Structure 1
Amino acid sequence: MVTRTFDRAPSTAPLMLKAVLPAIPVIGGLPGVKHAKGTVPDIVLERKGVETDPKHLETYNEVCGFPRGDHLPTPYPHMAAFGLHMSLMTDTAFPFAPMGLVHLRNTIRQHRRIGVAETLDVSVHAADLRPFPKGSLVDVITEVSVRGELVWEEVMTLFSRHKGGSAETSPAPLAGVEAPDGVVHWKLGGDLGRRYGSVSGDRNPIHLYPLTAKAFGFPSNIAHGMWTLARSLSAVQNKLPEAFTVDVEFRKPILLPGTVVFGSRADGKDLVFGVKGAKKPITHLVGQIVAHA
């Protein structure tokens, strides 16, 4: 395994351009642009000594609905890792062109709350390339440590659509789990994708404007899945334990602008939550929180 260390966050603007190139006819097949197939890259990308910018955190909290506090919101370390994610996925050793990927599932394991003033060491690698109906899945794994203590982990499961594929060999984490009904309505503006994209660095064209989203087959721009996850966790912030695992599945994109409904329910010791359409009972996201023993 080769380790690449970054002394600062990779700039996401050139990486977004690099992500688009493989989707362009002819150019996408050129050496240095075309992605390899069949294996995950044998590399780890890392940053050490990552400090939280209070202004950035404040903006993130505002966009995602978190209150101010002494600890980072559970999804916030994803922000520190995003540049590494993009560097990994735009590497031609990564098995799929990033613009064709669908963020299908996400798992975060919070081993303990992370203080705002704590310094983070972040590492990212890919794993578990496997078949899936009509394509393949691959995991992008992030680990965050504080002074050698593993405090936070994330698994982003990405779907690449292509010919072939087969059924998964193991059940999905949320197989059979349905989003509960709710009464809390969120009215989402057409600029939500741009607002979250500005704070996260994820300026994928499908999130920005109707015109740029239509170029990739969407009728309008769509909300980021990680925003929907973050907004959901902010809605149950007072119910979150010190240490827990949250699994989510992104089932249908949220078109912007629009209104969605959030709901949650206790399921024994677990908490199940979800986001549905306000006009049609379409499930956009379903999630489950399990406290660690």
Structure 2
Amino acid sequence: HVLGFPLSLRLMTSPGFPIPLTGVVHVANRITVHRPVEVGERVDFHTYAENLRPHERGRQLDVVLVGSIGGEEVWRGVSTYLGKERASGGGPRRDRGDRPAPPAASARWRVTPRVGTDYARVSGDHNPIHTSKLGARLFGFPRPIAHGMWSKARCLAALEPRLPEAYTVDVAFKLPVPLPSTVAFSASPNGADWDFALHSARDGRPHLTGSVR
């Protein structure tokens, strides 16, 4: 994802991209690993957008990034983005009901402010909501928030010794991880598969839910 992200960013900042990049929200990501990529292999990427669709808060679309080696697809990522739009006349907020209790934590991680700036340097994603207090406030966040893909990568790192050579990992990004904060990671096996989640260690609010299949 990090290797191919600059190409996806070029697509998302092109004049014909259907939703404005400013304020766009990454709401879900699915990655399929067909086989391990070895050190020294050359990966060719291509990217495209598809499935523009309405959403109760605006419009969503998928940005697909495909990695190939020697013409063979070895990796595919699908990032779902939400472009927020104001509905005319507003309307009542949807009642989300009672939030279920989070699963028991198997680990707790302290997420420091450096997470935002360090991941930005590695990934090329310098969105100010992740790196700047002022930038975060301009978009309605009291302080910077962690990149969603950092959260996903941190969860996968915890599962790495148990991941197969080929798999699909699907995540939904829920509430942002403010910087700094402490998060609780939980994972449970489901046969040969895994279900995992990331919650606030303080109040149990969900940050991410995911599965490995």
Which residue does 2:172 correspond to in 1?
249
Q: Select the structure with the greater relative contact order (CA < 8 A; seq sep ≥ 6).
A: 2
Match of 1:152 among 72, 75, 88: 75
Instruction: State the distance in 1 between where 2:78 and 2:206 align.
Output: 22
Deviation of 1:179 after TM superposition, in Å, equals: 6.3
Query: For 1:189-232, what per-residue CA distance to the aligned partner results, in whole angstroms no more than 9, with x for missing partners?
Result: 11210011111111100000222211111010000000000010
Q: Is the 8 A contact 1:179 1:273 kept in 2?
A: no
Are residue 201 (structure 1) and residue 106 (structure 2) matched? no
Matched, 1:182 2:105: yes
Other-structure match for 2:197:
274
Distance across 1 between alignment mates of 2:45 and 2:171? 22
Identity fraction in percent:
41
Q: Does 2:55 correspond to 1:132?
A: yes
The equivalences for 1:222-233 within 5 A come to 222-233=145-156
The one-letter amino acid paired with 1:289 is: V
Matches of 1:147 and 1:240 in 2, distance apart?
Answer: 25
Distance across 2 between alignment mates of 1:282 and 1:162: 25
Structure 1 residue 125: Cα displacement: 0.5
Q: 1:195 and 1:279 mapped to 2: Cα distance?
A: 24
The TM-score, its normalising length taken from structure 2, stands at 0.91
Gaps of 5+ in 1: 1-77, 166-177
Aligned counterparts of 2:102 and 2:28: Cα–Cα separation in 1 = 15
Name the SS of the counterpart of 2:22 in structure 1: helix
Q: Partners in 1 of 2:156 and 2:144 — Cα distance?
A: 23
The one-letter code sitting in structure 2 at the alignment partner of 1:245 is T
Unaligned runs of 5+ in 2: 89-100
Instruction: Name the TM-score, length of structure 1 as normaliser.
Output: 0.66
The structure in which a higher percent of residues are helix is 1
Counterpart amino acid of residue 112 in structure 1: R
Shift of 1:183: 3.2
The answer as to whether partners of 1:275 and 1:286 remain within 8 angstroms in 2 is: yes
- Between the two proteins, the alignment pairs up a number of residues equal to 202
Q: Structure 2 CA distance, aligned partners of 1:93 and 1:113? A: 34
- Mapped pair 1:215 → 2:138: yes
Deviation at 1:83, TM superposition (A): 1.1
Within a 5 Å distance, the mapping from 1:30-179 to structure 2 comes to 78-164=1-87
Deviation, structure 1 residue 92: 1.3
